[in-house]
Amino acid sequence: MAKQEQKVIKEAPLSNNCPECFNQDLTLRFYQKHLYGALYHRISGEVTRELECNTCKSLIYPVKWTEDIDRSVEYYEKAVTPERPRVRFKAAFYVLVLLGICLVGAVVYAYLQGLF
């Protein structure tokens, strides 16, 4: 089973008021999803965001955002440059492919020699 991890690609402090406690200590984080399997490491193109108040430690969902917060988030969304989506294969994958090629070669050789 693949292990999923969210990696922070950008973190920015915002000076907008928190809708919960009205302090000006917010942090905006952008995450990119990484999947780790036994044979591969996949970087997804999916980018998520999270807005947290550092004073009251609450997550602020987009439903409660004010227009000022929304404008700030849109500004930082344009500045985020995620890693390009790709798949990197691990050494175990290449070993299995090599073993598969060797097995097919051995079967073809045995067939041509009349062992089957």
Say how far apart CA 73 and CA 62 lie, in whole Å. Answer: 10
Report, as an integer, the average pLDDT of 88-94.
94
Residue that is written with structure tokens 């691990």 in the block: 90
Query: What digits encode the pLDDT tens for the residues 41-80?
Result: 999 999 999 999 988 888 999 998 889 999 999 999 998 9
CA atoms within 13 A on the CB side of 25: 8
Residues whose CB is less than 8 angstroms from the CB of residue 10 and which lie 6 or more positions away in sequence, other chains included: 29, 30, 76, 79, 80
